[in-house]
Amino acid sequence: MMKTNNISIYIHIPFCESRCHYCDFCSSLINRENVGNYFEYLKKEIRLNDEILKNQKIKTIFIGGGTPSSVPSKYIVEIIEILKSYEIADDVEITIESNPNSLSLEKARDYFNVGINRISIGAQSFEDAILREIGRVHKSEEIYKAVRNAREAGFKNINLDLMLALPHQNFSHIKKSIEEIEKLKLEHVSYYSLILEEGTVLYNRCKKDLSSFPDEAEDRKMYHYVVKSLEKLGLKQYEISNFAKDGYECRHNLVYWKLEDYISFGLSASSNLENIRYSNFDSFKEYYKSLDNEVLPISYKEELSKTDRINEYIMMGLRLNYGIDLSEIDNRFDIDFMDDYKDEVSKNLNSGLIKIDDGKLALTEKGRDLSNQVELDFFR
């Protein structure tokens, strides 16, 4: 029987070689004994979700962290092999995140040979001084080596993660990064603006010395340069921070942005199935204890109301250059969007922050700079 239900899977690997100075994710410094133990529990959690997985076709898998490439590749291979016992779409997209210093040719080959077909490399910057300042353990030369290793292993879909608004970053650094991207002939680039999260090293540094960070005007100037320059390289913006060659958009992230179903495994991982959202424990002790009792390690669960879902659908849809398909939102939520939101639409059209074209409502270039403001207008 053909399965019509599609699902995406996220696997959280919470281990890192060191802690970056901007990071507030759930991660732990690597310890060989803990790694083996964690993967045994991860397998147990997947087995406990057997009933859900049996009735679905897996369309994307994303292995993130933490730093998945910091652990021996045999563990990653084992997890993919378990997932292969379920029905996987012929055109499945399987992504793994990696760091330049830990993506060896051997690991890249192991990933590729087990069926992983997309790799994301956390470069963040091509400037060694900036990399040191933000707590990265790799050097810029290792970025090129990692891309070479991925290519040699067979990868034809490589993403590079980079960051804007880092301390002591200036416009010449951004220009250089575009030149390097051109040389590397990448299929996808993610270029995120630094968000200073409370409690992180960079947050505390910024409170003491704001002058070492680019101001908002400089950040916007860098961002606009990135958008236009990547477009010239054939890397078209399809989401506020994401750029791809035609056909190489990250399908897994589009699942999040389009509010489709996904199930996540691992410490602190969050899932979304129809209107139910839930998250796992973020402490190893609680996560392990729950699975020892054959109980799913869920720490938090909520049922989203129709209003919650519409709010999220609008917020996520506005991030996409494609925007919100008006007939899709009407059908999905049984509403008349243009009538229900006529005041918000009118206000933002008049301000030049949104446009409506071919049945789609999307942010303008000006609107992307003020996206938070537009989202707040539509939030109920």
Distance CA 78, CA 59 (A): 19
- Give me the tens of pLDDT residue by residue for the chain, a chain 380 residues long: 344 589 999 999 999 775 554 444 444 555 667 899 999 999 999 999 999 999 999 999 999 988 999 999 999 999 999 999 999 999 999 999 999 999 999 999 999 999 999 999 999 999 998 898 878 888 999 999 999 999 999 999 999 999 998 888 899 999 999 999 999 999 999 999 876 565 665 655 555 565 567 788 888 999 999 999 999 999 999 999 999 999 999 999 999 999 999 999 999 999 999 999 999 999 999 999 999 999 999 999 999 999 999 999 999 999 999 999 999 999 999 999 999 999 999 999 999 999 999 999 999 999 999 999 999 999 99
For residues 227 and 176, the answer to whether their CB atoms sit within 8 Å is: no
CB-based contacts of 327, cutoff 8 Å, min separation 6: 359
93-108 as b/e: b if 16+ CB within 10 A: bbbbbbbbbbbbeebb
Please name the amino acid found at residue 110: D
All structural domains of the chain, each given as residue ranges with its CATH number in brackets, are 6-256 (3.20.20.70), 306-378 (1.10.10.920)
Distance of CA 140 to the CA centre of its chain: 22
Q: Is 141 helix (H, G, I), strand (E, B) or coil?
A: helix
Of residues 117, 109, 112, the one with CA closest to residue 89? 117
